[in-house]
Structure 1
């Protein structure tokens, strides 16, 4: 008689691939669902703050900063405060926040600013967005750690 591990080792390659896919299917599903929600939220923000031709892309700018700040809080919460279900991180982190933030639109916005004769604004946007996004993650995670974990310690 063989052990279940030995049976898995000797399984046909196609069976192993199906088994891996079945294990990953829930992750793919929650990332897709979260991505749809995040993209809808981003679209709603873009409708609320439309960018006029040649104007500064405030909707994309704030979307990326807010998304990064929320990611900072979220990561502290699920790694240091709460033992989250295995699908929470792919749903919210990869899906919702991945669908919400938009660094591809950021690149297009830089090109639009330059094409509209505003290379200075394009350069400021090019440099400010990643710097402020990283600062947002750091600041939000630092504050979250202080508020969420600082209270738990005697």
Structure 2
């Protein structure tokens, strides 16, 4: 049954990812802000779910897989980050490529840290 929930989460996450990208699309924009925003948001929400919401719920493993692997796995996108970085390098936009790469990686850690901290400040003692 967990495969069904992961698949459903992935379906919803992919639709959200596409919709978010369309919403933030700016023609002739060199810097991929929409992918950066999606990946940072995903890092934050995944950490929040992993360290806060999910561990305290019955059936946490299934919920973690459905939301983390399914929904957020489809919502965030490392492959697009990789391709967009390579495209910037191929267009001789080395500074933008490095800026995008480092802001994605460091920003991802930072946003995951924010999610972790928020989850830990909201913990309730049993």
Q: Same fold (TM over 0.5)?
A: yes
1:78 pairs, out of 50, 54, 58, with 54
1:38 pairs, out of 13, 27, 45, with 13
Segments of 5+ residues of structure 2 without an aligned counterpart are none
User: Which of the two has higher C-alpha Rg?
Assistant: 1
Matching of residues 87-98 of structure 1 within 5 Å: 87-98=62-73
User: Aligned-residue CA RMSD in angstroms?
Assistant: 1.8
SS in structure 1 opposite 2:58?
A: coil
TM-score of the pair, normalised by structure 2: 0.90
1:95-136 residue CA offsets vs partner (Å, 9 max, x unmatched): 000000001000011011122221100011112211110111
- Whether 1:64 aligns to 2:39 is yes
Segments of 5+ residues of structure 1 without an aligned counterpart are 1-25
- Cα drift, residue 51 of structure 1: 4.9
Which residue of the partner structure matches residue 127 of structure 1? 102
Q: 1:153 to 1:28 in 2, by over 3 A?
A: closer
- Whether 1:139 aligns to 2:114 is yes
1:47 pairs, out of 22, 26, 46, with 22
Spell out structure 1 runs of 4+ moving beyond 4 A: none
Q: 2:77 and 2:68 mapped to 1: Cα distance?
A: 14
TM-score of the pair, normalised by structure 1: 0.74
Which residue of the partner structure matches residue 12 of structure 1? none
Q: Whose relative contact order is higher, 1 or 2, with alpha carbons under 8 Å and at least 6 apart?
A: 2
- Cα drift, residue 86 of structure 1: 3.9
- Does the 8 Å CA contact 2:47/2:116 hold for their aligned counterparts? yes
